[in-house]
Amino acid sequence: MAGNVIKFGTDGWRGIIAETFTFENLALAAQAYADYLKAEGKAGASLVVGYDHRFLGKRFASLVSEILWGNGFKVLLSDKPLPTPAVSYAVKHFDLVGGVMITASHNPANYSGFKIKLPPGCSADVTTTKGIEAQVGKNPPQRITKEEAEKKGLVLAGDPEKVYLEWVENFLDKDLLRTKKLKVLVDSLYGVGKTYISDILSKYGHEAVTIRAERNPAFPGIAPEPVPPNMAESLAKTVKENFDVCLVTDGDADRLAAADNSGEYIITPKIALILALYFMKCKGWSGKMIKTVSCSKTIDRFCEKYGIPLEEKPVGFKYIVPYLLDGSALVGTEESGGLGYRKHIPERDGVLSGLLFTEALIGLGFKNAGEAVAYIDKEFGKLRYHRIDKACDPNAKDAFMKKLESEPPKEILGRKVVNIKTIDGVKFELEDDSWLLLRFSGTEPVCRFYAEAPTLEEAEKMTELGASLLK
């Protein structure tokens, strides 16, 4: 059964705790990873294992470590919950062959997950994950205790949190951060963003506070995904207490969302444009813009204005990573909080992105996030974005997609369909730069409907139209 269960999706293998994500299946996944590394000639190499705030995270991480030790690998097991980018950075900083992060990222509380990290500090590519899947069940798990591993010299020392925070802080322009004081609200959604952002900003003179920073594996009342329904508390607090910007990280702190001083949600592509402008105008950086197919058309308009090459890719940060690895990207963005940029590890990082967004507001001369968004709207058009998710039967995917591709609508809300893209799901591009995208999630049994139009009302109508097609 495990061979059918352990399948890597958009980023890692994920499952519902005690249903598919069990100790037994996790042991098989860890053994498969060990067997894959041995087959690649990396027997006895060194790895890092981390975990987030989720239920049983520490025990899951300990089990993975015990199996890796049992296979003769050296392992640095974190002694505290960590952000995913901290584990990714540890792989690079400590010159390790790879790493494991126990997290289901932004998925609901009943999920956990198993992410693999590679030496550059990025998520595993498809070749690696397919290689691990092929090893599942070939050998029974080999396991020893931490005490036995210590006797064999397999337990590595190190502090991934410390080296990560040093890296993050050194990435910042500390002198610029000191030039202006902003009032910043951070919402960690009970995830491992903890109080990192507010601690660092406070050090440089900003009035920064964090809510929901404590560990609560139930994520009460929310899923740890930084989207408006889960941000209601922080959005209300932003307005009530006159914060200049609100920054929100997800469950494993690799994603960033933001809201302006009026409590208006800022879509990730607009964060990406503000970062890109800052990097270009204040740091003199250049490069391509990389966006996933679910991202705003404002990026296309930005690239056209500044003569910047643009690449559009399927949903999944792994499709952005190659451009960060070869140094050709200026900024890469997903619609769901994933941001990457040059000179950093090729990984999403909600903590550093939040700090850099604050820095960009100062560097570009905006007094608050609302001013920055108004500038983007003025320069590149006031398009509005909407997304909804609907539960669905994953087995219905092929028939649904074939029907859409064979009988596509010729117009949507009276606008002519001028182009259809199928690089990930089905995307209908309309004559006025509006668009509707329908795609099945790689991590949950849901179909996602994305739209962008001149008004939020129109974007909402488009997503509802998309959902009606699913029925």
Tell me the domain boundaries of the chain: 2-158, 172-378, 384-470
Task: State mean pLDDT over 78-88.
Answer: 98
- Taking 60 as the threshold, does the pLDDT of residue 108 lie above it? yes
Residues in Cβ contact with 3 at an 8 Å cutoff, skipping those fewer than 6 apart: 133, 136, 137
How would you label 413-444 residue by residue, b for 16+ Cβ within 10 Å and e otherwise? Answer: eebebeeeeeebbbbbbbeebbbbbbbbbbbb
Q: Report, in this order, helix, strand and coil percent for the chain, each rounded to 5.
A: 40, 25, 40
Strand bridging mode 435-440 / 183-187? unpaired
pLDDT at 4: 73
- Hey, what CATH topology would domain 2-158 get? Alpha-D-Glucose-1,6-Bisphosphate; Chain A, domain 3 (3.40.120)
The tokens 């609100």 sit on which residue? 246
Closest CA to 256 of 387, 83, 101: 83
- Taking 60 as the threshold, does the pLDDT of residue 467 lie above it? yes
pLDDT in tens, 360-392: 999 999 999 999 999 999 999 888 999 998 888
Closest CA to 196 of 274, 279, 93, 81: 81
**Does residue 189 contact residue 212 with C-beta atoms inside 8 Å?**
yes
Strand spans (E) along 347-425: 384-391, 411-412, 415-421
282 CB burial (10 A radius; 0-12, 13-18, 19+): middle
pLDDT at 23: 98
pLDDT at 141: 98
pLDDT in tens, 308-354: 999 999 988 989 999 999 999 999 999 989 999 999 999 999 999 99
% of the chain with per-residue pLDDT over 90: 87
Secondary structure (3-state) at 369: helix
pLDDT confidence tier of residue 2, bands split at 50, 70 and 90? low
Sign of the dihedral defined by the CA atoms of residues 401, 402, 405, 411, in that order:
negative
**What is the phi-psi region of residue 335: left when phi exceeds 0, alpha when psi lies from -120 to 50, beta otherwise?**
alpha
Q: Which two tokens stand for residue 176?
A: 């610029």
pLDDT in tens, 237-264: 999 999 999 999 999 999 999 999 999 9
Residue type, 270: K
List phi, psi (to 5°) of 384.
Answer: -120, 140
**Does residue 99 contact residue 47 with C-beta atoms inside 8 Å?**
yes
**Does residue 56 contact residue 19 with C-beta atoms inside 8 Å?**
no
pLDDT in tens, 116-174: 999 999 999 999 999 999 999 999 999 999 999 999 999 999 999 999 999 999 999 99
Secondary structure (3-state) at 76: strand
Secondary structure (3-state) at 68: helix
- Taking 70 as the threshold, does the pLDDT of residue 59 lie above it? yes
- Taking 60 as the threshold, does the pLDDT of residue 1 lie above it? no
Task: State mean pLDDT over 442-467.
Answer: 90
What is the chain's alpha carbon radius of gyration, rounded to the nearest angstrom?
22
Write down the mean pLDDT value for the chain.
Answer: 95
- Would you mind telling me the total number of residues written for the chain in this entry? 471
Same fold? 2-158, 384-470:
no
- Taking 70 as the threshold, does the pLDDT of residue 224 lie above it? yes
CA distance readout (Å), 205 to 114, 244, 359 = 38, 14, 13
The whole-angstrom separation of Cα 201 and Cα 209 is: 9
For 384-470, CATH number out of 1.10.287.3510, 3.30.310.50, 2.40.50.140, 3.30.1330.60 equals 3.30.310.50
Closest CA to 226 of 199, 241, 196, 246: 246
Closest CA to 218 of 193, 250, 247, 189: 189
For 172-378, CATH number out of 3.40.50.800, 3.40.120.10, 3.30.450.20, 3.40.980.10 equals 3.40.120.10
pLDDT at 168: 98
pLDDT in tens, 395-419: 778 888 788 778 888 999 999 999 9
The whole-angstrom separation of Cα 53 and Cα 192 is: 6
pLDDT confidence tier of residue 3, bands split at 50, 70 and 90? low
CA distance readout (Å), 325 to 48, 130, 335, 341 = 21, 21, 21, 10
pLDDT at 336: 86
pLDDT confidence tier of residue 56, bands split at 50, 70 and 90? very high
The whole-angstrom separation of Cα 458 and Cα 296 is: 15
Instruction: Determine the straight-line distance between the first and last CA of the chain, rounded to whole angstroms.
Output: 31
**Does residue 60 contact residue 51 with C-beta atoms inside 8 Å?**
yes
For the whole prediction, is pTM greater than 0.75?
yes
The whole-angstrom separation of Cα 349 and Cα 372 is: 21
